[in-house]
Structures are given as C-alpha cells and as structure tokens.
Amino acid sequence: MKIQLLEKIKTIKNLNMLPAVVSKLLQITSNPKSSVQDVAKIVKNDFTLSANILKIVNSPFYGFPRKIVTVNDALVILGYTDIRNIALSLTVFDKLGYTKLININEFWRHSLGVAITSKMLAEIIKYPKPDEAFICGQLHDIGKLILSEYFPEMFKKIIDLANNEKLFIIEAEEKILDGINHAQIGSWICEKWKLPPLITRTVAMHHSPMIAGKFDELSTIVNAADFIIKDSEIGFSGDCKLPEVDADVFEFLNISDEKIDLIYNDVKLKINQAEVFLNMIKNT
C-alpha cells in the first residue's frame, strides 16, 4: 500500500513542484551569504507575492506601529525566514484548498492556530528559531489535505470509520491504509517539494515526537501546540474527540502552568488578528 500510494502521489501534476519564486526563496534563504537585496529581488519579481507580503506585514497580526511600504523594509524587520514562511504558506493555501470533504476554512484556522501556538511555545522555551516552529505548525496536517483532495473515496472511508468506531483520524487512516497516516504522507510532500529536512522530519513526527527514547524538540513543540488548539476548539482538523494530554510532552518542554494558561488566553486573540491569512485562503 505504501509504495502504491507514494507512486500515485508522484503522478499528481499539481504537486510536482513549488512555484519557481518559492523554490528560489528556499534556496537563497538557506544560504548564509545571501543579502536582503538578493531576497528582495526575488520577491519583487512576483507582484502578487509582494503585494500579499505587504498586506500581511501591515495586518494586526504583526501590529507594527508604522506602515511598511516596501519589500526591503519588510525583510529588514521580519527577516528572511518569516518572508519565506509567508510565501510558502500562501503557496500551500493555493495548491491544497479545494477539498469538499473538509471545511477548508476551519481546517486552516486549526493549522494557523497550531502555527501560532508552536511559535509561542518555542519562544517560551528559547528554541533558537521560533519561525521554524511556526511553519512546521502550519504544515503539520497537509497529509490530510492530500488524502481528501486527491483520494476522496479513500478519505471518505477514513472519516466514516473514525466516526462509526469513535477513532482518531490517524487511527482510521492506519486501518484503511495499512499503517500509513497523514503525517507520513505530509512528509513525502515536504520531501517532494525539497523543503528543509527539519520541516519534513517534524511533519512526519508531530504525532510521535519521541525517537530512540528521546523527544525531538521541534516535533514535541508542534505536538503540544496541536493539543492546545484542539483543546481550545479553534478550527477543526477532522477529529471529533480530544486526545488525552501527554504529560511527558509538557514535562519535557518544562513550561509552567501559568505560561500554559497565558498561551490559551493569547492564542485566541492572535487568531483573530491573523484573519488576513484566512481571508487570503478564501480568495485563492
């Protein structure tokens, strides 16, 4: 089943590659010798991307005190990684936003909530690159979209099984797909798009963040964020029941109850401030 499914995914033309501008951004932002001018040149060559980046940067989500009017200014203020993540997010919205089996707006609200919470958790524990946590949270469930959009009959069976037997989506996937789940499928897509290995690994491990008896830090962050967003009932990713809290995950992150409570309070406000992302999804 794994080989058959992977081969079918390889034949989907819309998933073959990322747009050239995003591929170039990924390449150049991974090069420590790149300059602001190098990145700005790539972004400016795509008028739509430039306009969308400025729209997002000037939204309440970032809350800058003055208007950012140029791509160069946005790059200086946000940095390469944030700009790359905005471009990548918009591309994924565009490529994977047409399924009828999932409420796409609620799905992306969930994903955005996990992205925001992942970044908040990363900042609290002083993870060196919180923006990496954001994009991993944003992409963690894309495997579900692949299944629902390109394998609708199979995904319908998964949903029915999950509802009838009161299973989590991932449990139903593994029953229907002989052990394969959306995390693995999502990681295949990340690999296909030549995303950084860290993103690919985190998408693959977000439901099982322990490897060789040790927690993978970034996967654990996304796993905890996913629980918080489901517990907060922000958006909907397909599961009709809440997973039990994994105390070991939160113990590993070593975040106080007070800070966890703050995250629960703050993330709802930040989601409201991020409506610009959700509006763009509706317009793709």
The CA-atom distances, in angstroms, between 265 and each of 115, 148, 166 are: 16, 32, 29
Residue 203 pLDDT class (50, 70, 90 cuts): very high
DSSP β-bridge partners for residue 214? 211
In angstroms, the CA 10 to CA 6 distance is 6
**Least-confidence region, from 30-34, 169-173, 277-281:** 277-281
- The predicted-structure confidence for 34-65, as pLDDT tens digits, reads as follows 888 888 889 888 888 899 889 888 988 888 88
Residue with structure tokens 């690919």? Answer: 200
pLDDT of 2 > 80? The answer is no
More confident residue, 18 or 151: 151
Residue 246 pLDDT class (50, 70, 90 cuts): confident
Instruction: Say what the pTM is.
Output: 0.91
The structure tokens listed for 199 are 């993103």
In angstroms, the CA 74 to CA 68 distance is 6
Residue 19 phi/psi, 5-degree rounding, is -55, 150
pLDDT of 273 > 80? The answer is yes
* Average pLDDT of the segment spanning 23-29: 88
Give the count of beta carbons closer than 10 Å to the beta carbon of residue 176. 19
Strands (E), the chain: 210-211, 214-215
The answer for residues whose C-beta is within 8 angstroms of residue 53's C-beta and 6 or more apart is: 43, 71, 74, 83, 86, 87
CA 242 to chain centre: 20
Set out the domains of the chain in order of their start, with CATH numbers: 2-18+99-283 (1.10.3210.10)
* Average pLDDT of the segment spanning 235-263: 90
Give the count of beta carbons closer than 10 Å to the beta carbon of residue 153. 8
Tell me the Cα Rg of the chain: 18
**Where would I find the H helices in 100-181?**
104-124, 130-139, 142-150, 152-164, 169-176
